[in-house]
Structure 1
Amino acid sequence: MLTKRVPVDSVSLSSILGVCAKGERDIGLCHGLSCNAQGKQMHTMSIKLGFDRDLHLCNSLLDMYAKIGDMDSAEMVFVNLNKHSNVSWNIMIAGYGNRCNSEKAAEYLHRMQCDGYEPDDVTYINMLTACVKSGWGFYNQIADHREAIELFRKMQFQCQHPDRTTLAIILSSCAELRLLEVGKEVHAAAQKFGFYDDVYVASSLINMYSKCGKMELCEHVFSKLPELDIVCWNSMLTGFSINALEQDALSLFKQMRSLGFYPSEFSFATIVSSCAKISSLFQGQL
């Protein structure tokens, strides 16, 4: 287009920025230049052509910089926008989430609300994802599990389907707050959206039910899984241990070994603790 002097508009530039946003891992080098360098060239061209106030194009720039991890440049574009949209805020929240900076993502969520923008389902997903990538992130750092649960309910209200990560986060919050009834609601949502045999969600359910003192429900979840992994076994062992069911923990440990599962360090630590609680030197030595 440039060689033939065809006029370039904001749609053309947005399309090319979308390609640059994919990064070298997906599409390789762009004519000898990195996608980052090509993206910056497109940014310069957009300014020269007078599109620096075009919201759609600026959102494409934000997305490009956020996806290649250049949040300093994304900040520069964001600050210079004369107006924002929900898309602008969501891109920044997602960008910081992908950089494992949940505090910065939460800061943008707060600023978004203070500026009168209403978070949507994408906002909630991006914020929860930021929490997970930061090692449970902002909400768990300040023990604000109730706000995480509220975000989940807003997602449901807006008919946004949760993924396995979202379900695990909320179940963790339910476990910490001992919110059995809310946990059961999340369990129902997990089944509704097809996660009834997902071992990742199952281990979170077992953790939640065990902390609520409902080991019979843990065993129900455990028994319904078509395949087991060491995480699920460990979740059950921990559940028996925290509910003072040491003999059940020992029986489960033997069952795990008999089925060919090799215990992890966590498995051994949990079962040795159970042996100590019942003063069973013989079992501990085995």
Structure 2
Amino acid sequence: MYAKCGLSGDVIRVFDDIDEPNEVTFTTMMGGLAQMNQVKEALEMFRLMLQKGVHVDSVSLSSILGVCAKGGFDEKDIGLCNQSHGKQVHTLSIKLGLEGDIHLSNSKLDIYSKIGDMDSAEKVFANVSRHSVVSWNVMIAGYGNKCNSEKAVEYLQRMQCCGYEPDDVTYINMLAACVKSGDVKTGRDIFDSMPCPSLSSWNAILSAYSQNADHEEALKMFRKMQFQYQLPDRTTLAVFLSSSAELGLLEAGKQVHAASQKFGFYEDEYVSSGLINVYSKCGKMECSKNVFNKLPKVDVVCWNSMIAGFSINSQDNEAFSFFKQMRQCGFYP
């Protein structure tokens, strides 16, 4: 409870009051510290668990592998990087005879895929006697992170041949793999094969077209999304605005401006930055300023959008003025 509320001091006090913490206590403590992004402290807690001779089970090892996969600590401070820690825990699991545990195997797959060591992930995957949908999803995501959509597709096909039904995570991982690899055609084939695409899937395919400068197709997909009664979120609107800006479609930008007010995104910095870009690219800097001035809170991206807008419209004095205002408000360029 204290960990989920971010009260690290209370977490440590409760733990210190326990005379003889067991594997459940230590595992909860490691997970809680990691949840509060205290990765180094979570690793130290695992070391303490080993030093005290507390029984280590598959749940404990899965938890500490999750900590290693999370990363976020200074290698100089901790002495070893998360890759070394992950391999040490892997070795310990072999010594303890826990190789067959599917949950633990998935944790190993997760850390190897996150650090980009797909050779080690392949070995773990090959040695697992029984896979789960999670196992396949982790491998697909791992190859996606390596921008290898071919291997991701290979694992999807193998998954289906083995009788596993892809879930929403599978499809999102596949789409992400195709986006990162620039393989929009395969991504579209995957998307079209989905029986009921989620909002995340729509956003992924929209991003794929936008990032590959096929802005007209991105706009077509957005319209198709509307016809299928899928409500957009801030990501959807921002991607649509990006493509509209590149094509100089002022009316499309105005429509999204109206939609953002309807769906409650009119104060969102992400969406507002996209609106500023559309109006700027269409030479409507007064509209850009109106959007900017109505924001209750701005970030550096919104300032950048305004400065860029003034610059492309040859309003250099305004650009310098906004830059000075930005610095006076405490933002670093």
Normalising by structure 2, what TM-score? 0.53
1:44-83 equivalent positions in 2, closer than 5 A: 44-45=129-130, 62-67=136-141, 72=151, 75-76=154-155, 78-79=157-158, 81=160
Q: Percent identity?
A: 40
Aligned-pair CA distance for 1:184: 1.4
Q: Residues 106-117 of structure 1: matches in 2 within 5 Å? A: 106-110=185-189, 113=192, 117=193
Shift of 1:131: 6.5
C-alpha distance in 1, partners of 2:257/2:64? 38
3-state SS in 2 of match to 1:34: helix
Alpha-carbon distance, 1:246 to partner: 2.1
Question: 1:242-257 to 2 correspondence within 5 Å?
Answer: 242-257=312-327
**Matched AA of 1:168:** A
Following superposition, the deviation at residue 86 of structure 1 comes to 9.7
TM-score by length of 1: 0.61
Map of 1:132-281 to 2, 5 A cutoff? 132=207, 137-141=208-212, 143-262=213-332, 264=333
> Could you list the per-position Cα deviations for residues 18-50 of structure 1 after superposition, in whole angstroms to 9, with x for gaps in the alignment?
xxxx9942799895643266894897447xxxx
Question: Deviation string for 1:148-182 (max 9, x for gaps)?
Answer: 11212222233323232222111110001111111
Tell which has more relative contact order, 1 or 2 (C-alpha 8 A, sep 6+): 1
* 1:25 maps onto 2:96 in alignment: no
How many residues were matched structurally?
A: 223
One-letter identity of the residue aligned with 2:157: F
SS of 1:172 mapped into structure 2: helix
Larger CA deviation: 234-243 vs 23-32: 23-32
Would you say 1:128 and 2:203 are equivalent positions?
Answer: yes
- The 8 Å contact of residues 188 and 205 in structure 2, kept in 1 or not, is answered as no
Structure 1, residues 65-111: CA drift from partner, whole Å, max 9, x if none?
43565874762452574699995698245335058535346414236
Q: Deviations over 1:174-217 (max 9, x none)?
A: 00111111111222222222222111221111011100111111
1:228 is displaced (CA, Å) by 1.8
Change (3 A) 1:154 1:120: farther
**Quick one: distance in 1 between partners of 2:161 and 2:105?**
30
Secondary structure at 1:185's aligned position in 2?
A: helix
Give the direction of change, closer, same or farther, for the CA distance of 1:84–1:126 in structure 2 (3 Å limit): farther
User: Residue 153 of structure 1 aligns to which amino acid in structure 2?
Assistant: R
1:94 corresponds to: 173
Secondary structure, counterpart of 1:149 in structure 2: helix
Query: Which one-letter code corresponds to 1:207 in the other structure?
Result: N
1:19 aligned residue:
none
Contact 1:215 1:239 in 2 (8 A): yes
Q: Which runs of 5+ in 1 are unaligned?
A: 1-21, 47-56, 265-286
Deviation for aligned residue 1:120 = 4.0
Of 173, 182, 190, 1:103 maps to: 182
Shifted more, 33-42 versus 193-202: the winner is: 33-42
Structure 2 distance, partners of 1:23, 1:157, is 46
Deviations 1:94-140 (A, max 9, x none): 33505853534641423664xxx476442x732633665xxxx4543
Check conservation: 2:206, 2:222, Cα contact below 8 A: no
Q: Is the 8 A contact 1:93 1:126 kept in 2?
A: yes
Gaps of 5+ in 2: 1-62, 70-88, 110-123
